[in-house]
Structure 1
Amino acid sequence: MSGFPWGPFGTGVGVSAGGVLAVMLVTFAVGVAKGRHRYVDVAWGAAFAVAALVSLAMAAGRGEGDGVRQGLVTALTVVWGVRLSLHIAHRGRGKGEDPRYEKMLAKGSGDPRLRALRTVYLLQALLVVLVSLPVQAAQYLPNAVGPLVYVGCALWLLGLFFEAVGDHQLAAFTADPANKGRIMDRGLWSWTRHPNYFGDFCVWWGLFLFACGSWPTAAATVVSPVVMSLLLTKGSGKRLLERHMADRPGFSDYASRTSGFLPRPPKRRPAQGS
């Protein structure tokens, strides 16, 4: 699309990257001071909100983009990021280090703080910038919103529903002492083993549609939802969590009757004695 301002967009990405890096460096300082790095998970959602707000300021400050598209894509990203950060902060309140980071940082030699900075904080900053590219590109698209934006909003709503409701159901389940040691297999968790990851998947494919006002911007940013999808299914999401849960009593039965990712009605338990 000849009308897309690639130069200002590139500058905006650089400035947004600086904002994301600042969030991660502040979080790193807190993690070192507190002696645990689980705070980076809280910063993850907040960093996306910062990327959206900085890119909005950069685009609007230059008179670029469509105001309706800018307002929508920024609001949806900020709502998603802030909700996720608040949820993770509440969930981790009073807890020690995340076992994932303990294992990761126990490997290798040298100063563990520098390893944490390199392998946790800087890597996550890079991923935030990469995954948020459709949000940043959408700020600069000059054409008015069309059907793809409305489809994107619907997909985002579906994703937020699965994330928020799934998180609430899991929190209520684990808060009940009677469920200690049991596998959550109710509500949305009976339709998919990972309603929160499926929700993330929908959110980021929905936000990608905001950048599809032209095929060049779509082609340039499709890597972002693809990377997020791989993280959720093959990287630090589903695969890592299920490896951790594999030996828990009842998990193999739960996995045999519940979809691993895309929601579907649960399979029936075999009848007793059959």
Structure 2
Amino acid sequence: MTEQRVTMTFADGIADVRLVRPDKMNALDPAMFAAIAQTIDTLAALPGLRAVILSGEGRAFCAGLDMASMAGGGSGLDLGARSHGEANLFQQVAWGWRTLPVPVIAAVHGIAFGGGFQILSGADIRIIAPDTRCAIMEMKWGIVPDMAGFALWRTTVRDDVLRELIYTAREFDAAEALALGFVTRLADDPHAEAMALARAIAGRNPEAIRAAKRLANLSADAAAGPILVAESAEQAKLMRSPNQMEAVMANMQKRAPTFAD
């Protein structure tokens, strides 16, 4: 029987996703890659989804590649194959969080090395424990980051800083990750902070949240003109829609809104 690699619980519009290979600090083996990609596919089709929390069980978020399992050719994957839209399987486990229609919040602790650091980078918002150890570690093994890191980091950190961290593979702490722009904020209990934030997001107009994520994704590399057009198009769809009117009425009546998905 294949051991479970990812768990997901779903309640009140929030999916709580956890990497569950704690004996290996959630290191990425072929089964973990497949499980994460399948979870992303499941979330993309999940009715009523408002937000996702991504975390790791045990002592670490994710220690990166399980080099022993990957060195044996266990993946059997052609790196050039685009199996998930523009991404291959390795890239999908990080990039796929960015393509989900709802916000994804990473709650990170312990260790986030290599592929694990790229996975957290795919989240919209990244909350990290103060004692977390981080590294873009691929160069230690004579390879380059190839799990969508370059596509994700271009919107978070200066180019020269990124090059230095990649070229040296040096470890850095949570405070430096925050200062450089890799993470959103520090928290002693990242998962609790992520859950509070997810609940706040789940209480907003879900159509507006999804529109805002589409615009945020577009703004990463589109020219100003298409962004301006997209803003207007998204707003036109939202104005006077049932959920938008409910947001207005709930505010005026000082009550919690009731939105339709």
TM-score range, shorter chain: under 0.3
Q: Hey, which of these two has a bigger chunk of strand by percent?
A: 2
Which protein, 1 or 2, shows the higher relative CO under an 8 Å CA cutoff with sep ≥ 6?
1
Q: Hey, which of these two has a bigger chunk of helix by percent?
A: 1
